[in-house]
Amino acid sequence: MEDTVMNLYGTPNQTLTITDLQAMKVKGEKISCLTAYDASFSALLDEIGIDVLLVGDSLGMVIQGHSSTVPVTVDDMVYHSRQVAAARKRAVIITDMPFASYATPEQALETATRLMQAGAAQMVKLEGAKPDIIRFLVAQGISVCGHLGLLPQSINYLGGFKVQGKEPSEAQQIIEEAKKIEQAGASLLVLECIPASLTQQICQQLTIPVIGIGAGPDCDGQVLVLYDILGISIGKQARFSKNFMHGANSIEDAIRRYHQAIKSQQYPDLEHCY
């Protein structure tokens, strides 16, 4: 049974907000997050109690069959975000801003507006250290999630899906970027594919919730690609991923196992860390 989330007036919230996620961080309850791309899975994840549904541009790989997230368009993200929003009742919906859709503050505002108005997103996520753009969006009343470490939209520049922040200079840069993202007004930060020791340092210095994917157990929550935990993604799975269908008797059971593993801090284990 999930704890009933109460608002300031002592009545149950129908939908979680960033304030609720912040409260979970304060009391030490881990935040469960999964990607979602359609109404059917949205309804199932929401019913199980997943706290955050990330409408990720990973759909470019797991749904569209591309080798990266780069080909995904704003129209794609609006479409899938709208389908996810149509079925969920409780979870927070975060939608990715796709490649090259937030190069300037004005372009970022246009993209975020579409994702929120037409796609019904509650928060938008952008990759990289872009404090000026984050600050501009927040000033317009838009909730923003940052993303550091491995940046899938920059995969051609990075030269592949590699662990980031292993060198001391790189680690220090990520720490400084995380601070700037928080200072710019971001409500949440995703850390992807970085050493667990670096994650621990960052979490100790930030007050906003930190969600990890291949970033170790010290994050305030964890996110994985839905298709990965069901063992149906194309190609080789990353070290940090885990197939929760092993030992499960249904898709619902696998998702519930994932949710419980996050809440009980049984995932990620050492084998999933860098």
Q: What are the extents of the domains in the chain?
A: 26-272
144, β-bridge pairs: 124
Residues 6 or more apart whose Cβ sits within 8 Å of residue 165? 149, 171, 173, 174, 194, 195, 198
Share of the chain above pLDDT 70, in %: 95
pLDDT by residue (tens digit) across 65-80? Answer: 999 999 999 999 999 9
Instruction: Please state, in angstroms and rounded to a whole number, the distance separating the CA atoms of residues 256 and 260.
Output: 6
Q: What type of residue sits at position 115?
A: L
pLDDT at 2: 45
Between CA 79 and CA 90 the distance in angstroms is 20
In total, the chain counts a number of residues equal to 274
Strands 221-224 and 210-213: parallel
Positions marked active-site: 192
The token pair at 114 is: 């579409």
Do the beta carbons of residue 80 and residue 40 sit within 8 Å? Answer: no
pLDDT tens digits, one per residue of 2-11: 445 444 434 4
User: Cβ neighbours of residue 56 under 8 Å, at least 6 residues apart?
Assistant: 35, 37, 96, 225
Question: Max Cα separation, the chain?
Answer: 51
Tokens of 248: 């499960």
pTM, to two decimals: 0.93
Residues 118-122, mean pLDDT to the nearest whole number: 98
Residue 260's Cβ-side half-sphere holds a number of Cα atoms within 13 Å equal to 8
- At 160, is the pLDDT very low, low, confident or very high (cuts 50, 70, 90)? confident
pLDDT tens, residue by residue, 162-173: 899 999 999 999
Four-way CATH pick for 26-272: 3.20.20.60, 3.30.1300.10, 2.40.50.140, 3.40.640.10: 3.20.20.60
Q: What is the mean pLDDT of residues 150-174?
A: 90
| Residue 13 pLDDT class (50, 70, 90 cuts) | low
Phi/psi at 54 (nearest 5 deg)?
A: -95, 110
